[in-house]
Amino acid sequence: MRTSRLIPALAAAAMAVLGLAPTATAQAAPAASAPAAVSEATAVQPIIGGGYASNAPWAARLFSNGRQTCSATIIAPTWILTAKHCVSGGGLSFRIGSLDQTSGGTVANGVSIHNHASSDLSLVRLDRSVAGTYARLGQPGSVSVNQTVQVYGWGATYQCGSEANCQSQYLKVADVIVSGACRDAYNGSAICARRGNGITAGGDSGGPMMANGVQVGVASTSDRQTTTAYTNVTAYRSWIQSIAGV
């Protein structure tokens, strides 16, 4: 997403979209342990808090015109699920199935974009079929209030002014606790969650909320401190199925 995008407000709290717009409220959390493959010299603190992911074969890093922008998931051989506010810059490409956004996995380009009319969801069709493990999508009832769920992304690891400057090279994961229903950046149905051992920040947009191994949300907004909102994938299953067939 472009850094000049206007920041929308949620009904209950003003929360900045999770693209690369800076926010003045987030605070740095203690650094987490890096994977064994990461040297101390290159290790960074994941999400804001949280830890490094060890297994997420469905994860996809989104680039717009070659620039790291958002997070996403692959849900079928030729389909990516991400946030609508992530795709407006064009020139979309994805590194799929690697924990390291700079190498490995499969790189594919987006050839068509399908945006939901009234929520922060987008489906992007790829220029090739990508073999691998696809994110399984939840159904109504897959997630409940007070449930601890996992959120993933390559976004900013602390408040650094322009969040484009502190993205994580390696995929991160954090626990958050579902607090109830809310609205996303486009007033769509969303799942709000409060900080567990971490919270999402700029660049985590479009990444998944996973509940018991199935994807129930797509990252839309966050205040970088206590609360994040994920577009409710389970509420839009018929729309996703009508386009991507899953």
Per-residue pLDDT in tens (0 to 9) along the chain, 246 residues: 222 222 233 333 335 665 433 222 222 233 333 333 322 222 223 367 899 999 999 999 999 999 999 999 999 999 999 999 999 999 999 999 999 999 999 999 999 999 999 999 999 999 999 999 999 999 999 999 999 999 999 999 877 777 878 889 999 999 999 999 999 999 999 999 999 999 999 999 999 999 999 999 999 999 999 999 999 999 999 999 999 999
Cβ contact 143:213 at 8 Å: no
Give the pLDDT of residue 15: 53
Q: How many CB atoms lie within 10 A of CB 219?
A: 32
Three-state secondary structure readout of 196-208? CCEECCCCCCCCE
Kindly report the pTM of this predicted structure. 0.83
Give the pLDDT of residue 17: 63
Give the pLDDT of residue 18: 54
The per-residue DSSP string of 46-61 comes to -TEE-EE-S--TTEEE
Cβ contact 101:171 at 8 Å: yes
Give the pLDDT of residue 44: 29
CATH class of 59-134+239-244: mainly beta
Cβ contact 44:168 at 8 Å: yes
Q: How far apart are CA 182 and CA 230, in angstroms?
A: 9
Residue 144, class by beta-carbon neighbours within 10 Å (0-12 exposed, 13-18 middle, 19+ buried)?
exposed
- The yes-or-no answer to whether 16-52+138-235 and 59-134+239-244 have a common fold is yes
Q: Classify domain 16-52+138-235 at the CATH topology level.
A: Thrombin, subunit H (2.40.10)
Q: What is the CA radius of gyration of the chain?
A: 16
* Best CA proximity match to 243, nearest among 76, 92, 41: 76
Give the pLDDT of residue 233: 98
Give the pLDDT of residue 147: 98
Q: How far apart are CA 99 and CA 82, in angstroms?
A: 17
Q: Where are the domains of the chain?
A: 16-52+138-235, 59-134+239-244
**Please, what is the end-to-end C-alpha distance for the chain in angstroms?**
26
Residue type, 55: N
Give the pLDDT of residue 49: 82
Cβ contact 115:121 at 8 Å: yes
At residue 231's C-alpha, the angle toward residues 109 and 196, to 5°, is: 105
Q: How far apart are CA 171 and CA 134, in angstroms?
A: 17
Q: How far apart are CA 211 and CA 197, in angstroms?
A: 16
Give the pLDDT of residue 27: 27
